[in-house]
């Protein structure tokens, strides 16, 4: 861990009480660690839609009975093989499949990939969770 610096913050009593309840529920041992995580989350968001290197996981749910959909989704991923690190496929039930696609590349490209894959006809739901390597 790099050198620690102290930073004092002032906030309303009620806001602090709400924060303490929230972090207790989430399992934090102290405010410092909770605040560090909040800051890291904001820093990870910054530049997500930029040229910066990022990693993300896209999950999509679709009905594999739809004609040609499975083939389309596979072909789509092959078109972007430079972004796709790995894909996990789960047969959820008789109709539905879930795919989790691990992505690595420029944040902007990952967002575009996710938007396009989610908008393929037959994909019921999709969500991209992005992050970056932070110190």
Residues that bind Ni ion (CB under 5 A): 91, 97
Residue 39 Cβ vs Ni ion, minimum distance, rounded to whole Å: 39
Residue 69 Cβ vs Ni ion, minimum distance, rounded to whole Å: 11
Contact 64, 124 (CB under 8 A): no
Residue 91 Cβ vs Ni ion, minimum distance, rounded to whole Å: 4
List the alpha helices (DSSP H) in 1-135.
Answer: 13-26, 31-45, 69-79, 107-118
Residue 99 Cβ vs Ni ion, minimum distance, rounded to whole Å: 8
The smaller minimum CB distance to Ni ion, of residues 96 and 131, is found at: 96
The smaller minimum CB distance to Ni ion, of residues 36 and 89, is found at: 89
DSSP 46-86: TTTTSSSEEEEEEEEEEETTSTTHHHHHHHHHHHTTTTEEE
The smaller minimum CB distance to Ni ion, of residues 87 and 131, is found at: 87
Token code pair at residue 64: 């594999």
Token code pair at residue 4: 């620690």
Point out the residue whose Cβ comes nearest to Ni ion: 97
The smaller minimum CB distance to Ni ion, of residues 97 and 123, is found at: 97
């Amino acid at each position: 861990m790099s050198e620690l610096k102290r930073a004092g913050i002032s906030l309303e009593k009620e806001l602090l009480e709400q924060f303490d309840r929230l972090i207790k529920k989430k399992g934090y041992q102290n405010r410092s660690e909770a605040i560090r995580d909040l800051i890291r989350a904001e820093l990870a968001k910054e530049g997500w839609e930029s040229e910066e290197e990022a990693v993300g996981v896209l999950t999509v749910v679709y009905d594999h009975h739809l004609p040609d959909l499975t083939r389309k989704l596979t072909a789509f991923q092959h078109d972007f093989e430079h972004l796709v690190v790995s894909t996990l496929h789960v047969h959820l039930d008789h109709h539905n499949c879930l795919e989790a696609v691990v992505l690595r590349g420029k944040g902007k490209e990952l967002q575009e990939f996710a938007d396009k894959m989610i908008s393929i006809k037959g994909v019921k739901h999709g969500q991209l969770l992005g992050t970056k390597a932070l110190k």
